[in-house]
Amino acid sequence: MLFALVVANLKMLVRDRMALFWALAFPLIFVVIFGLFRLDEPPTTTIAVVDNAQDALSQALLSGLGAVKTLKLEPYPDEAQAHKALADGKVRFALLIPAGLAQSPNHPPLTLLYDRSRVSAPVILGVVQRFVDEMNLQMAGVPRLLTLRAEPVQSRQLGYFDFLLPGLVGMAVMQFSIIGMAVVMASYREQKILKRLLTTPLSVRTFFTARVVASLVLALVQAGIILAVGDTLFNAHIRYGSLGYAVPLILLGNIVFLHLGFVAGAFSRSVNAASGLGNAIAMPMMFFSGVFFETSSLPKVLAVASQYLPLTPLLDALRGVLLEGKPFWAYPGELGILGAWVVISGALAVRFFRFQ
């Protein structure tokens, strides 16, 4: 009986286009969008250059700046056009090199015009200043007393997309479990299905167990598809040997979110209300639990509070398992928080859920 009900619930989920959208299409849209952006590559900054000197000193300076991969030097014939390009927003920086730079004994100053609204302005100023200082040392004939020796080491390169992908897995599981369960419970209540269930020989426990098991199965399918797309299309650095360790984490987190979905459904008298309340529970966790960025970048109070949201320990453990190959029991603190949430959310679901 239980197996037949699980299969029936899976068929209903598959046939529900809205459910499939929230379960698969919605998180995959995020995977593709973030995968297309090269967020790990530093942006290139264009600097308009007006070289009125045209001498060896200015050429040496521009040669050094041009060797910086993140800088693109764009020559301009005169200062008026450079000013206009800066005013029109075509460039954010303009380097003006005065005439007679090498011949003049006082060496007239270089001018760097910049848009003060750019957060990158201090970085670019520092880069240009470094090359100017280097030229001063060379012209003064100061010997090099200190040198830097760079020794590369081999390490596993993990980018932003690698950090993001486990977060999208947790987000997908959370959203579908909370919103999906809340909407289903509200729909059952509107259609009097829950009330009629009490008059049938079918055990209430069996009915809900089948629904929960079907959701757990779908959660694993969700995670597998999201990880496969991220790896196939964007070469995510997933340790597939550790997928088995991720399964209990996904199931444990899904149980918490299903309980929260039951609670949201208990307080909702319509499908629309259930959807709104489910989003009100899921959206803060999506932004404060580290789906898109590390929680350490939050204000201190929020960073500490976010550690006790159910999604945060799930994502921390998932990233350790999927990206570092650690077993799930290497995260006892995260497992403890998730276990506490299973108990708390389960108690709330039992306390507030009603058939009418």
Instruction: Please spell the DSSP secondary structure of 307-342, one letter per residue.
Output: TTSTHHHHHHHHHHHHHH---GGG-HHHHHHHHHHH
Class of domain 45-140: alpha beta
pLDDT at 12 over 80: no
pLDDT at 112 over 60: yes
pLDDT at 47 over 60: yes
The region, left, alpha or beta by phi > 0 then psi within -120 to 50, assigned to residue 57 is alpha
Alpha carbon distance 293, 283 (integer Å) = 15
Please report the pLDDT score of residue 226 as a whole number.
86
- Exposure class string for 248-268: b at 16+ Cβ within 10 A, else e: ebbebbbbbbbbbbbbbbbeb
CA angle 92, 96, 99 (to 5 degrees): 170
The dihedral sign for the CA sequence 121, 123, 128, 132: positive
Domain ranges of the chain: 2-38+159-352, 45-140
Q: Do residues 107 and 91 lie in contact, with contact meaning Cβ atoms separated by under 8 Å?
A: no
pLDDT at 18 over 70: no
Q: Do residues 217 and 176 lie in contact, with contact meaning Cβ atoms separated by under 8 Å?
A: no
pLDDT at 40 over 70: no
Please report the pLDDT score of residue 153 as a whole number.
53
pLDDT at 23 over 80: no
| Residue with the two structure tokens 């309980």 | 259
Percent of the chain with pLDDT over 70: 81
Alpha carbon distance 345, 342 (integer Å) = 5
> Comparing 356 with 326, which gets the higher pLDDT?
326
Alpha carbon distance 163, 156 (integer Å) = 13
pLDDT band at 1; cut points 50, 70, 90: low
